[in-house]
Homo-oligomer: A and B are copies of this chain.
């Protein structure tokens, strides 16, 4: 039933990519060139490309072009491995960039979740994480300084889990996770260099210590095409 020119184009590139004739990271021809080659207008080309983007096969860089998406990383929040570790184990190169850091009074929501009084200083940390130089994840974290005094003076572009283990003898254990597949909010889209309205995966995570205190609250914004989440539930 669904026969149209943009679907033909979509199928064409989809096949090329799946057969590995267009390799990971390759730049596609420009929208105008594709249109000329297939004798369709740019509007039609863009519809095909946007669908391929939704499928996660290609992605765009603003006014630079369209590129073939590299394989997604598999992320197991329960594995207690750091981002750096699991990315490296899958044969890619992780990189973390600190965008902002600030000790600030806890707002009502954070205070309630952390069971502390509103206004208590917490550490806000804003980071961008890369795989093979491609930005794929924005983190905004609120960290309980009562449990981790002096953390604000450490190098916070390093692995946090490693830092917690070595300096504080703390580790991530229990956590509450929430996932939502939706367009990224504009602040996250901007930080990732993608246009507002693009699909993404939002994760909220509350990390607990072994004695059930809230260590940290994370808001994560992932490119939808960059991650698959695996979790084992064991009673």
For chain A, residues 21 to 63, give those with C-beta under 8 angstroms from any C-beta of chain B.
Answer: 43, 50-51, 54-56
A7: nearest chain-B partner, CB-CB: B196
> Nearest chain-B residue to A173 (Cβ)?
B235
Query: For residue A199, which residues in chain B have a CB less than 8 angstroms away from its CB?
Result: 54, 181, 199, 224
Instruction: Provide the residues of chain B in CB contact with A198, threshold 8 Å.
Output: 54
Against B, the Cβ 8 Å flags (1 = close, 0 = not) of A174-215 are: 111111111100100000000011111100000000000000
Say whether, besides A174-B232, A233-B78, A224 and B55 are in contact (CB < 8 Å): no
User: How many angstroms from the CA of A229 to the CA of B179 in the assembled complex?
Assistant: 5
Chain A stretch 157-187: residues in CB contact (< 8 A) with chain B:
173-183, 186
Query: Residues of B contacting A10 with CB < 8 Å?
Result: 197
Q: Is A2 positioned at the interface, with any CB of B under 8 Å from its CB?
A: yes
B231 adjacent to A182 (CB under 8 Å): no
In the complex, the answer to whether B234 meets A51 with C-beta atoms within 8 Å is no
Tell me, yes or no, whether A132 is within 8 Å of chain B by CB: no
Complex Cα spacing A97 to B17, Å: 36
A179 to B77, CA, bound (A): 12
A230 within 8 A of B: yes
Measured between alpha carbons, how far is A50 from B54 in the docked complex, in Å? 12
A183 to B56 CA separation, bound complex (whole angstroms): 8
Q: Which residues of B contact A229 (CB under 8 A)?
A: 177-180
A43 neighbours in B (Cβ, 8 Å): 43
- In-complex Cβ contact of A231 among B7, B196, B228, B231 (8 A): B231
A233 and B174 contact, Cβ closer than 8 Å, known pairs A54-B198, A196-B51, A199-B54: yes
Looking at the assembled complex, report how far the CB atom of A203 sits from the nearest CB atom of chain B, in whole angstroms. Answer: 10
Having A174-B234, A178-B231, one finds 14 other A-B pairs with CB under 8 Å, namely A10-B197, A51-B197, A54-B183, A55-B183, A174-B232, A174-B235, A176-B232, A176-B233, A179-B230, A181-B200, A181-B222, A182-B225, A231-B231, A231-B233
Q: Which chain A residues have a beta carbon within 8 Å of chain B's beta carbons? A: 2, 7, 10, 43, 50-51, 54-56, 72, 77-78, 173-183, 186, 196-201, 222, 224-225, 228-235
